[in-house]
Amino acid sequence: MHYDHIIVGAGSMGMAAGYYLAREGKKTLLLDAFQPPHDKGSHHGDTRLIRFAYGEGARYVPFVLRAKELWEELETLTDKKVFHRVGILNFTPKDDPYMDNIIQSSKQYNLPVELLTPKEANKRWKGIHLTKDMTSCFEPTSGVLMTQNIIEAYYELAMKAGAEVIGNNRVVKIEPVKHIVKITTENGDTFTADSIILSVGAWSKQIMNDLQADLPITPIRKTFAWYEVVESIYDDSNFPGFTYTDGEKTYYGFPSIDRAGLKIGRHDLGDEVNPDEEKAPFGSVEGDQEDLDLFLKTFMPKVGKLKYGKTCMYTMTPDKDFIIDLLPNHPNIAIAAGFSGHGFKFASAVGEALKDLLLMGKPKIDLSPFSIKRFT
């Protein structure tokens, strides 16, 4: 069967793109190796932070602000909770460049950020303990995105708009044929489309082999965990999301939402993995729990015992920036990959940008920092 557009990979980015294309009246098919939404990729685990004064660089700020607009629109289109505006506390040792980037981004784009001394932060949130050699800032308009709700909402909206979704059917071959693209799945199904989007996360390197294109991306095993807390100290009405970096170690975390417990993960480190192999479960690798326990003991000593942990995958690029582009030799094939552990907050805007790439050739957002050409 022929479609206007086929999306290979129906996770957060792919599902958003599927909705935005179907909303334009395009005949759209989404294919996934698993039944979406699932926990085999990068964007499960209930929650992700969304920050606007971006420590990774000001080039991301217009992109994340557009994502914010689309998250707010999504909340009006679904009965699911999408965005908890709990604010985010960023804290680092004094003079850390990450904090300088946050402040620079906030000034350049006139974003609300409140600089706090350790004493002020400790007084505002009973659950935190910052020492005198640290600095912090609070972003009151930032917060927490609900990953499962978001993917389910885009799934439902895409279906209502006329998209088709086929899960548990892995794509095994991609063949550009003249002005169309032919796709074959493991079940023996064949589909064609005028253009396709590849949004397969940790499987991007494998699937690009069909197209004689080598992507410098590496799937990494990552862990995160939930801890017991006193809700009156650490729930989302009393405690913010948070990030910490000291140039070597980077942590992120969430208040307790719906009594789930405080969630925390370490952003750096991680072992390279094969996405088709079973990942070592949380706690089976040295440091999985110990690193988190030490961080909490140091900065959030009122947090209780570990409840449970999980694993996911990051798909890392050498420079930790995204890849969102049309393939140079195949302008009817778009790719979204290499989100390097900080992509989910952008998923709505990535979906829109992919739609614009296919329909107009140029999105509203400047994607030049994310060009695949920087690796060729």
Question: Hey, which residues are catalytic here?
Answer: 44, 47-48, 263, 267, 312, 345
| CA distance linking residue 199 with residue 275, whole number of Å | 14
The answer to whether the CB of 300 falls within 8 A of the CB of 127 is yes
In sequence order, the 6+-apart residues with CB closer than 8 A to the CB of 84 are 143, 144, 145, 146, 236, 257
For residue 228 the two structure tokens come to 């017991």
DSSP string, 15-38: HHHHHHHHHTT--EEEE-SS-SS-
- Which residues on adjacent β-strands are paired with residue 31? 8, 166
DSSP string, 84-128: E---EEEEEETT-HHHHHHHHHHHHTT---EEE-HHHHHHH-TT-
Count the alpha carbons within 13 Å of 16 in the hemisphere toward its beta carbon. 25
In sequence order, the 6+-apart residues with CB closer than 8 A to the CB of 2 are 180, 191, 192, 193
- Token pair 């991007």 is found at 204
